Amino acid sequence: MNDMLEWFMLRVSIYDFLRCIFLFGPKTEILASLYKTQKNPYTQKLSEYDMAKISILEEEHTRIFINPATMSAVPYASHYLSSTGLLMGDVTFSLRKRYIELGYVLDDRTFSEDHVGVELELIYLLAAKTINALNEGDNSKLKELVKNQRDFIKDHMLRWIPAFCSAIKNNTSEDSFYYNLATLLESFLKDDAARLDLFLTKTRTITSL
């Protein structure tokens, strides 16, 4: 259980970092948060990046994710999951409905519901609520939160994030910040889904005894 508690704490900080990078870009305060994150293999390479080169990161961020003329990794789920690849379609509207069910209100309309940063923010907020439920000893709420996150990651995010990460890697060098960011995003999502699965399995086993 202690291992799982450590994982729950780690995932809050990592999802917070990931959502901020994709929503706001590589700001100094966001990169600085890497040094506050507990030591782990996921962020090790990113934390070694020279923060004096932040202007280069900002240019890369714009080139890869924002500028329509140079965008090499479209940060919207609709691009990968829709049969037409068009944004603001069925995928977006389905997510909007799901967010309401999960109690998530998208106040900032800069990005639509299927933007990678918005999806990561949803998981971050639910991860924070998971810690609260754990501290309060609310096992029913805890299991509900874990299941909702596990399902959203496995049934939605992992259907398109790997392709998104591949697009990033195909357009950056292996030693670049964004190549390693893509590695972090994909590997952590997969590991997190597996950990949440394990937690739910153990919980069912204990409950059935």
Q: What is the pLDDT along the chain (209 residues), one digit of tens a residue?
A: 578 889 999 999 999 999 999 999 999 889 888 776 667 888 888 888 877 788 999 999 999 999 999 999 999 999 999 988 778 789 999 999 999 999 998 877 789 999 999 999 999 999 999 999 999 999 999 999 999 999 999 999 999 999 999 999 999 999 999 999 999 999 999 999 999 999 999 876 444 33
Q: What distance separates the 2 farthest-apart alpha carbons in the chain?
A: 59
**Upper half-sphere CA count for residue 31 (Cβ side, 13 Å):** 20
* 3-class state of residue 114 by DSSP: coil
pLDDT at 45: 84
Cα 129 to Cα 194: distance, rounded to the nearest angstrom: 19
The DSSP letter of residue 33 is G
Q: Domain spanning 2-208: which CATH class is it, in words?
A: mainly alpha
- Burial (CB count within 10 angstroms: exposed 0-12, middle 13-18, buried 19+), residue 71: middle
Instruction: Give me the long-range contacts of 10-17 (CB less than 8 A, separation at least 24).
Output: 10/37, 10/38, 10/40, 11/127, 11/188, 11/192, 12/124, 12/127, 12/128, 12/131, 13/37, 13/38, 14/40, 14/42, 14/43, 14/184, 14/188, 15/120, 15/123, 15/124, 15/127, 16/124, 17/43
Contact in structure between 28 and 54 (CB atoms under 8 Å): yes
CA 149 to chain centre: 11
Residue with tokens 């299927």: 114
Instruction: Please give the single-letter amino acid code of residue 178.
Output: Y
pLDDT at 207: 43
Phi-psi region of 137 (alpha: psi -120 to 50; beta: other; left: phi over 0): left
| Domain layout of the chain by residue ranges | 2-208
pLDDT at 34: 79
